[in-house]
Amino acid sequence: MQLITPATWSAYELIDSGGFQKLERFGDFILSRPEPQAIWDKSLSDDEWERRAHATFRRDRQSPERGDWQTTPDMRDPWYVRFDQGGLNLKFKLALTTFKHVGLFPEQADNWVYIQDKIRAISANVSRPKVLNLFAYTGGASLAARQAGADVTHVDAVKPVISWARENMDHSELDNIRWVVEDAVKFVRREVRRGNQYNGIILDPPAYGRGPEGEKWVLEEHLNGLLKSCADLLDRTDFFFIINLYSLGFSSLILDNLMGQLFGDVPNPEWGELAVTDLAGKQLPLGCFTDFRHE
């Protein structure tokens, strides 16, 4: 099992974690947000957290998911950060949302470099590798794939999120990503019927969700069927595959079992956890992953 954690990134750091919260710096601004897996004590005092934070998320008592932000006068919203590692040069818009998210999952940074490397390797045999990004959110993986030279299809069920991803594409001075506002299960089934295939497939499915027409997504109920379709879509000559899961209690062993059953004896398999380390050395787990690629 491997542990993926972002390498030194000047625009991001996890300053502290604990007490079911995390204190993070994104560019020039420090945010305090809930984090259910940070069950240990904070290393810094509550007063230090309050002094440092430009924005603090407070949950709505009527909703387990929504809330609002308390901000200092110098907090900007939106604001921008760059990612310039491993040959990538990407620019992201960040914003304070009612769901505590800001439009970026920094634990994914290592995956962006991985995606770029795999596409460049595939490009030795395929002039325009085709990459499918499902549950693609604001497009970090899509931007990395496009900058590496891939023909990218970006699928998400939420239209405003697609608009956000398009802004990130423009800020990163990229173009020609194919945007699809659709339920991921419906999309992959249609692609299978059409006989389409992709050299790279990336998935970041949530625990729960709704499609644009109210389609219900429950990870435990639908993941197996979705991956069966993805197995049909993946080109088996020059390829890579990545899936990340953020559902609490979901083990990377589950992914390992699914990969073995649906994809067979895959080459170069890797599986483990996504994590970020705070300045006191505490490792905050943020999900599990598996990937494989042909080389």
Q: Per-residue DSSP letters for 52-102?
A: H-SEEEEE-TT-SS-EEEEE-TT--SSEEEEE--TT--EEEEE---TTS--
Q: Tell whether the model's pLDDT for residue 2 goes beyond 80.
A: no
Average pLDDT of the residues in 249-270? 86
- Give the pLDDT of residue 252: 84
Instruction: Report pLDDT digits (tens) over 49-92.
Output: 999 999 999 988 877 778 999 999 999 999 999 999 889 999 99
Largest CA distance in the chain: 59
Element (H, E) at 30: strand 29-34
Confidence of residue 268 (pLDDT cuts 50, 70, 90): confident
**What's the pLDDT score for residue 295?**
65
For range 146-159, the mean pLDDT: 97
Contact 227, 221 (CB under 8 A): no
Q: What's the pLDDT at 250?
A: 78
The model's pLDDT over 177-224, given as tens digits with 9 standing for 90+, comes to: 999 999 999 999 999 999 999 999 999 998 888 888 888 888 889 999
pLDDT tens digits along 230-240: 999 999 999 99
Percent of the chain with pLDDT over 90: 77
Q: List domains and CATH numbers for the chain.
A: 2-82 (2.60.40.1180), 103-293 (3.40.50.150)
- Buried-exposed string 144-153: b where 16+ CB fall within 10 A, e elsewhere: bbbbbbbbbb
**Res. 7 pLDDT band, cuts 50 70 90:** low
pTM: 0.94
Task: Average the pLDDT over 285-290 and give the result.
Answer: 91
Mean local confidence (pLDDT), 36-61: 96
